[in-house]
Structure 1
Amino acid sequence: MARWEPNARERLASSALDLFAERGYEGTTAAEIAARAGLAKSTFFRHFADKREVLFAGQDLIGEAFAAAMRACPPSATPRELLHAALAAAAFAFGDERRAWVVRRQAVIDDNTELRERELLKRASLTAALESALRERGLGERLAALAAEVGSLAFRGAFARWIAPSNARGYAELAREELDALASAAASLG
């Protein structure tokens, strides 16, 4: 096999999803993924720590995007405005060109208990990233925690709507709607 191949990471991810669909997540090895991609097993491990990371790689970038977007907001920004900026910044991960891959990825996760647990841990880390960025902006502990949870709910709701088969709208628009609906619902608590 060649020492260097273009688009190795993308080829590995595509091969992994194909194999997960054919054999199931548990029935697929990293070596098989690499072979399907026409790459060496060592190349797989240069790009991913394990086969789970094929499905979860890059989520740290979303947390970083949340924080960067909030830092870029004016000092007068409200918690809701900060969350709008953060959620809009995550749209880089949810472009139309990635939708088919993300839908297939989610199907693999939904079909495996271990992967669903891993997804919950990743969601918790994204919520923690939101909370940390909100606290960095000067929000108190309770308000930052509450806002982060609401932001996380909006993120998840927008994601679910974005991958729905009937959806033709962009993630950022859906995230804005989800956050506004949650803010309205929270206001009705009295």
Structure 2
Amino acid sequence: MGRWEPNARERLSRAALELFTEHGYDSTTVAEIAERAGLTKRTFFRYFADKREVLFAGQDGLSRIIAEKIIGADGSASPLEAIGAGLEGLDVIFADERRQWARQRHDVITGNDELRERELLKSAAIATALAAALRERGVPDLTAELAAEAGNLAFRTSFTRWIEPSHEQGFAEVVRQTIKELQAAVTHI
């Protein structure tokens, strides 16, 4: 693969995940990632601040999509229904062809304390974005915070279900199922 070929970001991401899976996150260097991708370290740093960011790039886009869909949800939707609409909108990111990559990414993250901590920060940022979008819909602060935490749980649960090898449903369908289960559970508390 030549250095001039397009999709450097994708090539770097793919190379990094391959190496993290083969040798472990801590044992993989930026130089090795760049070499595997057929690029230079300098090119790597044009796209990512460090090797950790290969796994977490796109977080802002994720939060933006969710917020836009929550804000645009039907006016009669409850806060949890609006969050469901927001999470269903992520099916453009969590398409079937990304499922294997997502599984591998998840395995790398769960095997490393530093990455699990970063994943928790990402999760907190998503909850903040959920609450802000609900507030923009006119939902009172406390209700927005509680619904955002429930929505964040729904997101994490849906993602975990979606990457299970036995799951073949699309991400939006998994979200719908999870939201229904969450609503039923809350009703019985």
* TM class by smaller structure: over 0.9
Q: How far does residue 3 in structure 1 lie from its aligned partner after superposition?
A: 6.2
The residue aligned with 1:55 is: 55
Unpaired segments ≥5 residues, structure 2: none
CA distance in 1, matches of 2:104, 2:80: 32
CA distance in 2, matches of 1:2, 1:180: 49
The residue aligned with 2:114 is: 114
The residue aligned with 2:156 is: 156
The residue aligned with 1:88 is: 88
CA distance in 2, matches of 1:163, 1:32: 27
CA distance in 1, matches of 2:86, 2:4: 36
Q: How far does residue 2 in structure 1 lie from its aligned partner after superposition?
A: 6.4
Task: Give the share of equivalent positions with the same residue, in percent.
Answer: 54
Counting matched residue pairs gives 189
The residue aligned with 1:11 is: 11
| Alignment root-mean-square deviation, CA | 1.4
Paired AA for residue 93 in structure 2:
A
TM-score by length of 2: 0.95
Distance 1:2 1:96, change over 3 A: closer
CA distance in 2, matches of 1:74, 1:182: 20
Q: How far does residue 88 in structure 1 lie from its aligned partner after superposition?
A: 0.7
CA distance in 1, matches of 2:158, 2:76: 26
Q: How far does residue 73 in structure 1 lie from its aligned partner after superposition?
A: 2.1
The residue aligned with 2:69 is: 69
CA distance in 2, matches of 1:115, 1:50: 12
The residue aligned with 1:137 is: 137
- Residue 128 (str. 1) matches residue 128 (str. 2): yes
CA distance in 1, matches of 2:127, 2:17: 27
Q: How far does residue 75 in structure 1 lie from its aligned partner after superposition?
A: 2.8
The residue aligned with 1:100 is: 100
Of the structure 1 ranges 13-22 and 69-78, higher mean CA displacement relative to structure 2 is found in: 69-78
Q: How far does residue 92 in structure 1 lie from its aligned partner after superposition?
A: 1.4
Deviations along 1:128-166, one digit per CA (max 9) or x if unpaired, are 100110011111111001110111111111111101111
CA distance in 1, matches of 2:164, 2:73: 31
Runs of 4+ off more than 4 Å: none
Q: How far does residue 71 in structure 1 lie from its aligned partner after superposition?
A: 2.1
CA distance in 2, matches of 1:66, 1:80: 13
CA distance in 1, matches of 2:185, 2:76: 24
